[in-house]
Amino acid sequence: MQVATSLFYDRNAAAMQALQSHADTLNTQVATGKKLTSASDDPVAYQTLRGIATATANDTAYKGNLTLAGSLLTQTDTTLGSITTQLQQASSLVLQARNGTQTADSRKIIGQQLAGIADSIAALANGKDARGQPIFGDANGGAAVTKNADGSYTYATTTGSPIPVGEGQTVQTGDTAARVLTFGGKDTLGVLSTLAASLQAGTATDGDMGQAITDLTDAGTQVSDVQASVGARGARVDILQSTLTTTANDRETLRSGLEDTDTTAALAELSKTMTILSATQASFTKLSSLSLFDYLK
């Protein structure tokens, strides 16, 4: 069989070019640490990597939101705990006032203290979170608790927008003042202010004080129920944070397998390729230098 000289050169040149191109690719992979330099290298893997990048960006935002939600829920829980403390103090004062040894003047002082506790609870309920939003009111910034001219109280019945913490998932970090401070058709601050006024006026009866103790116990139970709900939301945030971390680790493992260069394997392959290229070049040089007389020997 006869092989044309041009065909001989073309075949060898193509082989050496392919080897050189493969060596260049391996060099680039080692230098950049990336196996894929363009979508054409592996279209399926490239598309998967784009999806991973999008999911990672979304989870970065969700991670920040979860951190914020956890912090705000802690603040809400702390505020509810402070309200509970105030209610316990109020119950203790009413028990003192109900003691038969108390004088009218001492009951008047207790009434003043109860009025101060009502103001303190109202101030706590009107507190704002780290974002400057009402903890127990709506996102418009209105007061969660408003004291009316007749001494009664109006409570916010809506709260701020929930925080997105995952695909289709949100967490409400606050609650409504109405849920925190109303129970069984009564309101906590109304109970306190009414008894405070009657103690200061000297008109409070033993029955009034007994009913107030019962009402304050119910008020404390209501606050505890809300606090338990906040605690459950906090536990959910913890679970979501843990899940997010696990998902991020799994996603990174997948990304690395698709994109990152196995440096040891790539260097070994490069060494093998360069050896073959050198041998091919040497062979081509030797064969191309032979004359007809060399073939006839």
User: What per-residue confidence (pLDDT) applies to 138?
Assistant: 82
Q: Which CATH architecture describes the domain 52-254?
A: Up-down Bundle (1.20)
Kindly write down the DSSP assignment for every residue of 225-280, as one continuous string.
Answer: HHHHHHHHHHHHHHHHHHHHHHHHHHHHHHHHHHHB--HHHHHHHHHHHHHHHHHH
Number of Cβ within 10 Å of residue 128's Cβ equals: 15
Instruction: Write the CA distances from 85 to 82, 90, 124, 160, 224, integer angstroms.
Output: 5, 9, 11, 25, 11
Cα–Cα distance measured from residue 156 to residue 161, given in angstroms and rounded to the nearest whole number: 14
Tokens read off for 186: 């009564």
User: What per-residue confidence (pLDDT) applies to 14?
Assistant: 67
User: What per-residue confidence (pLDDT) applies to 6?
Assistant: 60
Positions of the chain with pLDDT lower than 70, given as ranges: 1-16, 18-33, 35-41, 46, 256-263, 265-271, 273-274, 277-297
Cα–Cα distance measured from residue 247 to residue 12, given in angstroms and rounded to the nearest whole number: 50
Which tens digit of pLDDT belongs to each residue from 74-114? 999 999 999 999 999 999 999 999 998 899 999 999 999 99
User: What per-residue confidence (pLDDT) applies to 50?
Assistant: 80
User: What per-residue confidence (pLDDT) applies to 80?
Assistant: 98
Give the phi and the psi of residue 183 in degrees, each rounded to 5: -160, 135
User: What per-residue confidence (pLDDT) applies to 295?
Assistant: 47
Cα–Cα distance measured from residue 49 to residue 202, given in angstroms and rounded to the nearest whole number: 77
User: What per-residue confidence (pLDDT) applies to 293?
Assistant: 44
